[in-house]
Every structure is written in structure tokens, then in C-alpha cells.
Chain A
Amino acid sequence: MRFGIVVFPGSNCDHDAWYATTHNADSEAIMLWHKDTSIPKGTDCIILPGGFSYGDYLRCGAIARVSPIMAAVTQHAKRGGYVLGICNGFQILTESGLLPGALLRNTSLNFICKDVYLRTENSVSPFTNSLEQGQILRVPIAHGEGNYFADEDTLNMLEQQGRVAFKYCDVNGNTYLESNPNGSARNIAGILNEQGNVLGMMPHPERCCDIQIGNADGLAVFQSLISAAELLI
């Protein structure tokens, strides 16, 4: 299993993603520069990491999505390759049209940095196959624009097609308004594309993959990907 981690100017979770995939998930990972125009053969999963690509100028992810590597990332996704967008990576995926909807400013207008609970809504995707339906994870968020928005038709479609991967919940798995940190529609924390090979999520699984820092709940996302890639071989 080989991960390719894209480094944009302003990415700041790229090294965390590298550490999680290589040290915690025991895989291979390569760093890809935003000016690269191709993805090396044998790269199974592209990670668009968190951060503030291009200083969040104009809108979060708006400039990154026209950077040279994104054409190759889109091709990789169209071929069925895995793409995981975390936080700013999720914003880049919605801006690029690889995922529907958009990420608005948090309703509190605050940058929120804290652990939240996530309920697994889809346990059969390549990103979640090692989780149980309804399994609760504790994963940190760190964002100012994570308020997922899409029109009602799109939200209904996402739910009907099982494309909501995670929802914000409380410790018991209840998706109350109070357990929604940023105002996201229907407590949505992460969504999949139609084919299921692209996941965008605001919470940071790569920041909680090592039990030495007190929480390894996020490791399941990377382990799921490794299992999914093995099945393809």
C-alpha cells in the first residue's frame, strides 16, 4: 500500500499524514509537490492534507484546486484510485467538484480546535470497512470553515446512497444539535463520492493514530484503506 501526500504551500498536516501512514499504519508514503503534474505509478491513495493552502485566499481550497497536481488527482479519482481529503483537503475536494456541497464558515464564527465524537454511518466504504456501523470515534477537529452545506436534494441523495461516512455525535452516538460543532447540515462530518473511492472529512484521523499520544481512533481509516487496497490485488 502506497500513499501519496500532496504538499501545497500552506499545508500543515502533511507530515502528520506521513507519520500516521508510515509509522502507525506501517505503509509506504511519498510526498507529492503541488507543482507535480503526474502521480507515480503504484500510488494507491492520494491524501490531500489539512492546512491553509495558499493562505485560504479567496475561499478555502479555491486556489489549490487549480494547482497543477489537481488534474492528476482528478484523473486518479476517475480511474477509481482512492483520494482522502482531510480538513483543507475536504475543502479542496468540494471546490474541485470531486465531492458535492461546500464548507461554510462555522456558525459560531470561531476557529474550533477540540476533540469531537463521530458516528460511523457507512462501514462498507474503502475508508471505513474496519469500523462497525454506528461505531463511535473520538477525533480532533481544527477549522474555521467546516460547516458542511448542500441543498436539500443533495443531502437527501447523500443519505439515501449511503454516502455520509461520518456524523458529529455525542459520546453515546446521538446526533443532537448540541453535538454539532460547526453548524454542518444534518451533522455531516464526512462524505463519499458516488463511486465510494473519494472521502472528504473535516475531522483529522491522522492526528489520532498513535496510542502514545492518547488516542488511536483515527487509525481505523488508514487500516480500512490498506484492507481495501489488498482486496484489489
Chain B
Amino acid sequence: MKHFKASITVSLRKSILDVQGKTVEHALHSTNFPMIKNTRIGKHVELEIDAENAEKAHALLSDACKTIIANPIMEDYHIELHEMEA
């Protein structure tokens, strides 16, 4: 069994207008950062998981994202895994 640390990013689906992202981008544009584009606001979840290998850990977390961590109707998720030393 291996031990992984996961970093999950949840953000609104690309097809959904992210009003919070837009508002932050307006604020950035009015504070000397007009070069910034496509601002999206999301959530960051960190957790640890035991699994046989990275593939299984990813599959389990993908299931967890679809079930609770994200709402697939409105959100996308991205999982990054880092294997920890035993």
C-alpha cells in the first residue's frame, strides 16, 4: 500500500460564467494589471490517501470528486497526486 498526498482543484465548468472571476479580473484591470485574462475562481482541497498505486488512488479520488467534492453539473476538477515516503 502506498501513501499519497493529493491536491484537488475544483472550478466552475468553462461553459459557466464565473461572475466572481470576472469581478476579480475587473479589480485587477483597475489596479495596474490590465494584462491579466481569463480569471477563474475555484476551490483547493488537500488530502491524503492510501492506495495500491497512483492509478488506483486517482480512480478513488475521481469517484470522490464526482460524488461529493465537486458537483459535475457545474464544476470541473483536477487531481494532482504526490507519492509520500513510507
Contacts and interface: CB of A to CB of B under 8 A. Distances in A.
Contact of B19 (A94, A105, A150): A105
B31 to A, nearest CB: 18
Contact of B68 (A62, A104, A107, A150): A62
Q: Which secondary structure dominates chain B's binding surface? A: mixed
B68 A149 contact: no
Contact of B74 (A102, A108, A109): A102
Contacts of B20: 105, 109
A97 to B, nearest CB: 9
A59 B73 CA distance: 13
Contacts of B39: none
A102 B69 contact: no
A102 B23 contact: no
A104 B19 CA distance: 10
Interface residues of A, number: 16
B16 interface: yes
B68 A109 contact: no
B73 A149 contact: yes
A163 B68 CA distance: 27
Nearest to B73: A102
B9 interface: no
12 contacts: A58-B43, A58-B68, A62-B68, A102-B74, A104-B12, A104-B16, A105-B20, A107-B19, A109-B20, A149-B16, A149-B73, A150-B73
Given A101-B73, A102-B74, A149-B73, A66 B68 contact: yes
A95 interface: yes
A95 B19 contact: no
Interface string A84-103: 00000000001100000110
A95 to B, nearest CB: 7
B62 interface: no
B11 interface: no
Contacts of A108: 19
9 nearest interchain CB pairs? A102-B73, A102-B74, A107-B19, A102-B71, A109-B19, A59-B71, A149-B74, A104-B74, A109-B23
Contacts of B69: 58
Nearest to A62: B68
Contacts of B17: 107
Interface in A98-127: 101-102, 104-105, 107-109
A109 B43 CA distance: 17
B12 to A, nearest CB: 8
Interface in B20-58: 20, 23, 43
Q: Please indicate which of the listed interface residues B23, B68, B74 has the most CB atoms of chain A within 10 Å of its own CB.
A: B74
